[in-house]
């Protein structure tokens, strides 16, 4: 059954009107349902904290996990530790390592790391070459380590350590 050419335009106009009416009625029903859902749970929707409140809570509760501290201060191969010397003897250095919390500086932590110094370990101090901006490596010993020095301890893959002392 075909629509006669004279009535085709009328048919298309009726189809468009029915389609638009259906979309409007559907939109009204969906809008009404959403309005009822929001109105019934008005307290839940109004109690959502602002972004500032959420951020403030995150800042005050942010701490550095002890697992992170243990991992960073371990003397595992290929690990680097930077800290302030609190005590030094011929076979051990005690470092104070600071952990700055970038989210909340008030929750920053300090821990101590005892670094054993063996015969295979190197202690290196950098010294300036006279009249130059160059530095040269000079072998040192544990007697060259002073309390208060900031040192870098690099644990090599074979377990030996290289301890870098500050420049004189």
pLDDT at 94: 93
| pLDDT single digits (tens) 14-58 | 999 999 999 999 888 888 877 777 776 666 556 655 555 565 565
pLDDT at 163: 92
pLDDT at 61: 59
pLDDT at 37: 72
CB 87 within 8 A of CB 103: no
Angle at 82 between CA 131 and CA 64, to 5 degrees: 145
pLDDT at 134: 85
- Residue ranges of the chain whose pLDDT lies below 70: 1, 3, 40-64
CB 110 within 8 A of CB 152: no
Q: What is the CATH number of domain 66-165?
A: 2.40.50
pLDDT at 85: 94
pTM: 0.59
* Residues 6+ positions from 120 with CB-CB distance below 8 Å: 160
């Amino acid at each position: 059954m075909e629509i006669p050419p004279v009535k085709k335009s009328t048919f298309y106009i009726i189809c468009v009107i029915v389609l638009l009416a259906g979309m409007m009625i559907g939109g009204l029903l969906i809008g009404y349902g959403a309005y009822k859902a929001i109105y019934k749970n008005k307290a839940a929707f109004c109690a959502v904290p602002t972004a500032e409140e959420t951020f403030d809570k995150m800042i005050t509760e942010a701490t550095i996990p002890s697992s992170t501290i243990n991992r960073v201060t371990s003397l595992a191969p290929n690990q680097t530790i930077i800290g302030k010397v609190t005590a030094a003897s011929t076979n051990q250095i005690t470092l104070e390592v600071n952990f700055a919390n970038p989210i909340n500086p008030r929750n920053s932590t300090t821990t101590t790391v005892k670094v054993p110094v063996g015969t295979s370990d190197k202690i290196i101090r950098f010294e300036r070459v006279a009249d130059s901006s160059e530095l040269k490596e000079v072998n040192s010993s544990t007697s060259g380590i002073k309390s208060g020095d900031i040192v870098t301890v690099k644990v090599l893959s074979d377990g030996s350590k290289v301890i870098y002392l500050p420049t004189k």
